[in-house]
Structure 1
């Protein structure tokens, strides 16, 4: 009876979804020679890979927040299916980087990490505690008094001290956990504004305050989070509303303070809050750019208003940031975060999560076009994963957001009901023992909340390793399983900043010629003679 039920459901599924049973395999893949040739091409490419042992003039770090390996796989398929392909054969741009490692993501005090402790690791080179930012693991969460004297600096600080320009691009609030570890020191990631610090003992500064008053030399800051920089009674220019719970009560207009600082130093600066203003910014005439496009986080790419009244994409922000930063002859450090991958996963909304990966992939492609592999180290990684996975045995090319096309003779579900290929270990949409029949449900809709095995208000992070993709000078140093705090040490060593500033007896590549500069050649020859 169960087999008959499954067979009937399979027939109905095929009819509704207008599919044919069996895998969707491109014809050329049925020829064994296709796979032999493909493997030989890959082998030739790998054998021809050369290490770039020169100094990295520039470093660009892309952080896919929550972008675990399963998310990368699903996003790859999603991207391919958006282009009318089966999807599995698709490659995200950063997956073609020649160097690959893994990062262990645990916090000092947690097996499964959060985005603050991990950010401290991959930006400051020191593992931290859960929910703490830019401080050593001697600082317990929310302990402001213990924080004093236990601050740690970041790759942004080291790069700025070396005379480089620095920038931050994120689709979250600029005061959120991941970007905040670049410039702030806080025993609590949620102390984003002074309204979040009522009753806190000690003299700790909120994160927004630290961004504006303690880090006035950051050339580019682009993201969301206006509310923590605005006066308590200020009306938001976009929404026309006032957020009494988050806007500042200390009488400081931090956006105005940012502009006044630049004016006092005779720096060309611009503050923008919508796409039209952003598009009008001329990088050639801009020393400092502050863009705050939402009161809180920026919009999902699927929902982004692309008009002048809306906001720029992560690729557009990356482009503008590089245009401004690359004017510095000493080079630059740029942090770019695809933050909303994480937010969508927490709400078990995989279509939005995967689309955010594709949007960040476009930003990576933009950066690749604008820089040269010989003098720019590019690192793409994640802070942590999610309890998100790809299940069942769907046929090739099956919609990654759809239902598993069933094979009743082999692996049909025991209850005869359909289920989605993508599934969460915990989260908000739990069936409480009675699975929903999804036959007539559009699971591909951006707002469809996918099911989870354990009921929780928000889906949680995962604890497994995340990938590190790298190309450029010293990228080959990512080659095995590393502790996450290893990442900024490689970036610093490659670019000769921080404690590695004097460990720089490597040549500097000339991008124009693609060869070692003449000065470096002479220097190396002298060393050889000696």
Structure 2
């Protein structure tokens, strides 16, 4: 059975036909009424599709209600190119051509473009961009939760606290809302860390990661457990268990911790929650997640010692992103004041860095599935949902292939002067560079493109593919979604969210 987000186009066309009178339908089909309206070669197919889109847009009313709940979905490294390729990947997976597909969030009524550069770099990393779209202040590359006045590695600048910036999680907590962070990476990785931590270096995830000589700053894991904002987060789901356990300790799966200070931060987290007088539980696998009793209002789920495995490689003990999202919403919804939930599909980015396009597209499909799962269980009238990315990547989508050509395969109309085939998806740089002794291009027909770990071709040889500097898409649905239209700086996003949800120190819809 097709997933519902795969069926969106079919559903939309069915709505079109049901809304058009028999007379109008005949008027559109006078050339040949017997033609099927789902045939792309039939001009009526495109006319009706466009008319439905037009009708839907002009009939969409502005929702200016108070956003009781907010979910910010972030596809790390989810470029517009990645979205276009994922549509085809999914469509072909379920027997279609693919390009006609829309992902779950691509049917949202409002779309914008966000500019992603850092204060010091023209191409963003996940730390400075995370600070921008979670706190509303642009920062330097490699820094988390600090203004551009602090350079990467400046421990003293972090310790001073003068340049620390707070954002959506803190503002929501101050408004009495429940808060949560869900990710497929380590929960201390740059993107989730930007929601609660202040660190002069994104790599300072545990005390072991800090410089051996010189000043010591609070590491990111410590700030999640004991920090002013981190300690009050209700739901934390993701990977990175090793950063919470000492090196001398093995977790229940036999993996050693990474901390040098001997602290067991999981136990500290439980003690901290007890001191707050709340019900709390630590879980570590999918079974515990799915069987979680509804009495717990605070849950720490660390499902892997490092990043969570790619969906393609996940086992029975590894929860899917959609499962974590559904459980998080279930827990956070108990708060009568509403909630703010931040969700990251983080392994889209790591797959791109490895130029493993198949994994990147599959992770994007899983991300879209998580958005769809959330849409099914929230009240869309009072829940603002934003879907965006932090930065782009260098993957390109090119050639003149016929419809239906495998998106992860070769261009079927290769016009290369060396007469060697080339793939539809390629990278500007990265580990996929394959040199040949005679200076000719590598013959890709010798490679196994069906292997999920296949590194797609890249032009420049570097160990890790870089990010891209172009704008990223922002999709919005729910209260005040229309204010996310247009082109703007990435740091505008949290200000707009705060306006809709009546949180934070700035202008809000409740006071305007």
Does TM, scored on the shorter chain, surpass 0.5? yes
1:209 aligns with 2:222: yes
Matched with 1:325 is 332
Map 1:462-481 to 2 at 5 A: 462-481=468-487
The 3 A distance-change label for structure 1 pair 460 and 34 is: same
1:258-287 deviation digits (Å, cap 9, x = unpaired): 1112233442211111111112102x2111
Q: Shift of the alpha carbon at 1:501?
A: 7.1
Residue 230 of structure 1 pairs with residue 245 of structure 2 = yes
| Residue 170 (1) aligns with residue 194 (2) | no
Residue matched to 1:348: 355
Q: 8 Å contact 1:159–1:497 — kept in the other structure?
A: yes
User: Residues 314-342 of structure 1, C-alpha deviation per residue, up to 9 Å, x if partnerless?
Assistant: 00000000000001110000000000000
Q: Which residue of 1 aligns with 2:295?
A: 285
Aligned length: 470
Partner residue of 2:194 out of 169, 176, 181: 181
Alpha carbons 1:270, 1:281 under 8 Å: kept: no
Aligned partner of 1:336 among 325, 343, 346: 343
CA distance in 1, matches of 2:213, 2:506: 37
| Aligned-partner SS, 2:416 | coil
- Partner deviation per Cα, 1:34-54 (whole Å, 9 max, x = no partner): 111110001001111111111
Alpha-carbon shift at residue 200 of structure 1 (Å) = 5.6
Pick one of 418, 422, 431 that aligns with 1:419: 422
| Residue of structure 2 equivalent to 1:395 | 402
Aligned counterparts of 1:390 and 1:151: Cα–Cα separation in 2: 40
Q: Which residue of 1 aligns with 2:314?
A: 304
Displacement of 1:486 in angstroms is 0.2
Match of 1:268 in 2: 279
Q: Deviations over 1:184-242 (max 9, x none)?
A: 0011000000001133643520000000011221110000000110022011322x132
Q: Is the 8 A contact 1:403 1:420 kept in 2?
A: yes
Q: Tell me the SS of whatever aligns to 1:61.
A: strand
Indicate if the aligned counterparts of 1:116 and 1:133 stay in contact, CA closer than 8 A. Answer: yes
1:46 aligns with 2:60: no
Alpha-carbon shift at residue 431 of structure 1 (Å): 2.7
Distance 1:444 1:81 in 2: 14
Secondary structure at the residue paired with 1:426? strand
| Partner in structure 2 of residue 97 of structure 1 | 108
Q: Within the alignment, does 1:380 sit opposite 2:391 as a pair?
A: no
Equivalent position to 1:140, from 151, 158, 163:
151
State whether structure 2 residue 450 is matched by structure 1 residue 444.
Answer: yes
Distance 1:231 1:505 in 2: 48
Q: What CA deviation, in whole Å up to 9, does each residue of 1:111-141 have, x standing for no partner?
A: 1110000000000000000000000100011
- 2:502 is the alignment partner of 1:496: yes
d(CA) in 2 for partners of 1:372, 1:500: 26
Corresponding residue for 2:256?
242
Task: Give 1:431's aligned residue.
Answer: 434
User: Aligned equivalents of 1:292 and 1:503: distance in 2?
Assistant: 37
Partner residue in 1 for 2:134: 123
TM-score by length of 1: 0.87
CA distance in 2, matches of 1:220, 1:235: 24
CA change 1:275–1:199 in 2 (3 A) is same
Q: CA deviation at 1:434?
A: 2.5
Distance 1:454 1:501 in 2: 46
How far apart are the structure 2 equivalents of 1:82 and 1:138? 48
Aligned residues: CA RMSD: 1.5
Instruction: Output the TM-score relative to the length of structure 2.
Output: 0.90
Is the Cα contact below 8 Å between 1:60 and 1:333 reproduced in 2?
yes
Note if 1:191 corresponds to 2:204.
Answer: yes
Distance 1:471 1:27, change over 3 A: closer
Q: Secondary structure at the match of 2:432?
A: coil
Distance 1:231 1:414 in 2: 57
- Report how far residue 505 of structure 1 moved: 4.7
Residue deviations 1:378-423 (CA, integer Å, cap 9, x gap): 00000000011101111111110011112xxxx5211111111000
Give the drift of 1:479.
1.2
Q: Is the 8 A contact 1:103 1:467 kept in 2?
A: yes
Q: Verify: 1:486 aligned to 2:492, yes or no.
A: yes
Indicate the SS of the match to 1:445: coil
Mapped to 2, the partners of 1:454 and 1:302 lie a distance apart of: 27
2:176 & 2:38 partners in 1: Cα distance? Answer: 55
Could you say if the C-alpha distance between residues 440 and 488 of structure 1 is closer, same or farther in structure 2, counting changes exceeding 3 Å?
Answer: same
- Contact 1:141/1:187 (<8 A) preserved: yes
Counterpart of 2:412 in structure 1 is 405
Query: Paired residue for 2:12?
Result: none
Return the alpha-carbon distance in structure 1 between the equivalents of residues 446 and 210 of structure 2: 48
Q: Is the 8 A contact 1:109 1:129 kept in 2?
A: yes
| Among 358, 364, 372, the residue aligned to 1:357 | 364
* 8 Å CA contact 2:118, 2:141 repeated in 1: yes
Q: CA 1:459 to 1:81, structure 2 compared with 1: closer, same or farther past 3 Å?
A: same
Tell me, yes or no, if the aligned pair for 1:403 and 1:443 is still in contact at 8 Å: no
Q: Deviations over 1:24-72 (max 9, x none)?
A: xx97000011111110001001111111111100000000000011001
Given candidates 365, 369, 372, the residue that maps to 2:376 is 369
SS, match of residue 328 in structure 2: helix
Residue 77 (1) aligns with residue 88 (2): yes
Secondary structure of the structure 2 residue equivalent to 1:493: helix
